[in-house]
Chains A and B, each alone.
Chain A
Amino acid sequence: MQKLERIHLLSRTDMLKPLRLFVRNVAVKQNCCKDNVECLVMAVNEACMNVIQHAYKYRDDEEIIVEFWEDNKELIIKVIDNAQSADTGDIKSRDLDDVRPGGLGVHIIQQVMDCVEYKSGDGSADGKGNLLEMRKQITSEKKSENENNAVVNNAEKE
């Protein structure tokens, strides 16, 4: 497993836009296809947004760390905070048939990533720290184009 990038950001809502640009650049550098790029941007944005809203409760001077790893054509993103450890059992997608504002972030992350795992606590006595690990198989731009062409070709044959 190879570490690609690590970024530290303050828990401010105005940091989300530059963060999305950073994620986009990392994904493009890994030759991710357009769909992959959009999924990764969405997932990291929602994850950091959840940290700002729920973990840090809008305290804007706290730290969020986002790490990017690559392992055998899989991109692994870790979002780390130093807030009070959450009960990971409480972090789950809600019933979408209940149409109401909020609570969609976890669902969106689960939809766009292949594997999502929450870990709480860093083992320290003060019970602080949360880690969200998200994985996504990388589909390269070239491969994606070829697949699209194959779909078009097959459709034309039919």
Chain B
Amino acid sequence: MNYPVSQYQSFNIIQLSGEIDLNESPNVRKQILSYINNNNDTLIDLSAVEYIDSSGVASLVEGLQVARSKEIKFALLGVSDAAMQVLKLARLDTVFSIYKSLDDIG
């Protein structure tokens, strides 16, 4: 599945949705890395994510690491309750930059 992408300021926003598990996370990883590898600031919109497991979270962490190495921006947007629960369990809620909405980016 290719997730819809929109733009805001310097960011490409990848809008993930549904259930991001081991079956889906390779697609998520591929799409995230394709934008980061093109040196695009990237926002991952998690507002429509109903479920994410540790493989999905790993894709986000990898995105963050590659973005840092390229000195581009990488952040999460509108994190759903389900996704936030897993980020907190993995103690990653303080590792990512997280925006509640686009208004918070400024």
Contact = CB atoms under 8 A, between A and B. Distances in A.
Nearest to A35: B85
A17 B53 contact: no
B21 A104 contact: no
A18 B49 CA distance: 17
A53 interface: yes
B95 interface: yes
| A contact patch SS | helix
B92 interface: yes
Interface stretch (A105-113, A132-140, A144-152): A105-113
Interface residues of A, number: 24
Contacts of A104: 54, 57-58, 90
Contact of A45 (B53, B59, B89, B95): B53
A16 B54 contact: no
Contact of A49 (B21, B85, B91, B95): B21
Contacts, number: 61
B7 interface: no
Contact of B51 (A20, A53, A96, A111): A20
A100 B68 CA distance: 12
Interface string A88-102: 000000001001111
Nearest to B62: A101
A49 B82 CA distance: 18
Contact of B59 (A16, A46, A53, A101): A101
A46 B55 CA distance: 9
B19 A108 contact: no
Interface in A53-107: 53, 96, 99-102, 104-105, 107
B97 interface: no
A101 B89 contact: no
B65 interface: yes
Nearest to A102: B58
B90 A49 contact: no
B23 A17 contact: yes
A100 B54 contact: no
Contacts of B86: 42, 108
Contact of B21 (A17, A38, A100, A101): A17
A14 interface: yes
B102 interface: no
Contacts of A17: 19, 21, 23
Q: Which of B22, B82, B85, B86 has the most CB of A within 10 A?
A: B22
Interface in B17-65: 19, 21-23, 51, 53-55, 57-59, 61-62, 64-65
